[in-house]
Amino acid sequence: MSFPIEFKKCPVCHSQETVCRLACDGESSIAKDAFVSLDKTFTPIQDVTRLLGPVVKGILCHFDVCSKCGMRYCTRAEITSVPVNVQHSSGNVIRNLQPPR
Ligand SMILES: [Zn+2]
């Protein structure tokens, strides 16, 4: 198995319809084949204190809610890189992880 891993059906009722897909259906600003999800979590798989570049690699998990039974489940897991913001504040370097929207 390789990334991205997609879970196309609700694990409970096997419906493919989710709250977010339902809500985005017919939304002209979103491409028809674009992947949409209700919320996302990003888990870095690199040591953020030892980064050399401006990005950190991690696992992006998409979650959505089944529109039939209300089950919240992972719809997609992918490996991605997100920018690391480096801010200088009173001499300290602060790194903020900002997951993509
Ligand atoms: Zn369901």
Ligand 1 centroid to Cα of residue 64, in Å, is: 11
Is-contact 56 96, C-beta < 8 A? Answer: no
CA neighbor of 77 nearest in space, from 14, 1, 17: 1
Distances 71 to 17, 18, 23, 30, 41 between C-alpha atoms, Å: 11, 9, 16, 24, 17
9 Cβ neighbours under 8 A, 6+ residues apart: 15, 16
> What total of structural domains would you count in the chain?
1
Q: Which residue segment(s) compose the domain that 25 sits in?
A: 5-97
Considering only residues 85 and 54, tell me which one the structure prediction assigns the higher pLDDT.
54
pTM: 0.77
pLDDT digit string, tens, across residues 36-55: 999 999 999 998 788 888 89
- Give distance in angstroms: CA of 16 to centre of ligand 1: 8
Question: What is the rounded CA–CA span in Å between residue 61 and residue 37?
Answer: 10
The residue-averaged pLDDT of 13-36 equals 94
Q: How far is the CA of 6 from the centre of ligand 1 (A)?
A: 16
